[in-house]
Amino acid sequence: MTERVVFFDAGGTLLRVGGSVGEVYCRFAARYGVRASAEDLERRFARAFRAQPPLAFAGAEAAALAGLEQDWWRRLVLGVVGRFPGFDAYFAEVFEYFRGGEAWEIYDDVLPALGALRSGGWRLGVISNFDSRLEDLLGALGLDGYFDSVHISSRVGAAKPDPAIFRAALAAHAVAPGQAWHVGDSLREDVGGAAAAGLRAVWLDRQGGLPEDTRRTRITRLDQLVDLIMP
């Protein structure tokens, strides 16, 4: 039987930050005597994140990857909260906090959908514009056992929507693009990137705030994915 594979985005698809990034940054900053508004930090984070280059390091040696990842995030966090006495310790605490399950929540439709797909004989993978902490995070949340592969932009050296990260995931499963699905919440990175690479793309519109786009396969919950692709 031809292998059947579904790839998932991580943030916004499988999991989300508990509360908000701004709230976390604000709470940790208070330990260093820094007063800030969580709402203001959230706005700054959104702007800084969009301005950052892709979280991908083409040609980087494995031994250098952890340092490159931390430097990428340090520049972002510095742009959000500014430098203050103890910033380096603050950054280290925040960076490690987001490695653990306490910082995140799994959407309520994730485990039932993953279980149904696995029971139906599908192989599952993650394709995410994230760093090496994602593997620890999936383990902390009890999600790692569902996935046969995890491809992250920092390690692959290409970030969605670059087709290279999708090709790397396809190669790991030895499947053709048309044999695989990719599900994610970003029209540009997930749907556009996957479609450009030849995968069957599904847009997970969790907010339901955008008009239906008849050019794309759209779902609002992952149980709809099971209905869509299961025989």
- Tokens read off for 54: 């892709």
3-class SS of residue 72: helix
Global pTM reads 0.95
Q: Do domains 5-16+103-229 and 18-102 have the same CATH topology?
A: no
Residue whose C-alpha is closest to residue 81's, from 48, 126, 115? 48
Residue 214: is its pLDDT beyond 80?
no
Whole-Å CA distances, 154 to 11, 23, 60, 70, 194? 15, 26, 9, 11, 18
The architecture of the domain spanning 18-102 is Orthogonal Bundle (1.10)
- The predicted-structure confidence for 30-42, as pLDDT tens digits, reads as follows 999 999 999 999 9
What pLDDT is attached to residue 1? 43
Q: Where are the chain's structural domains? A: 5-16+103-229, 18-102
Instruction: Give the whole-angstrom CA distance, residue 229 versus residue 231.
Output: 6
Instruction: Tell the CATH superfamily of the 5-16+103-229 domain.
Output: HAD superfamily/HAD-like (3.40.50.1000)
Backbone angles phi, psi at 97, to 5 degrees: -60, -40
Instruction: Give the whole-angstrom CA distance, residue 89 versus residue 153.
Output: 26
What band does 210 get if pLDDT is binned at 50, 70 and 90? low
**From 45-59, 115-129, 170-184, 200-214, the region with the lowest mean pLDDT:** 200-214
* Element holding 219 (H helix, E strand): strand 217-219
Residue 7: is its pLDDT beyond 90?
yes
- The predicted-structure confidence for 91-110, as pLDDT tens digits, reads as follows 999 999 999 999 999 999 99
Q: What DSSP string runs through 181-203?
A: EEEES-IIIIIIHHHHTT-EEEE
What pLDDT is attached to residue 230? 86
The one-character DSSP state at 216 is S
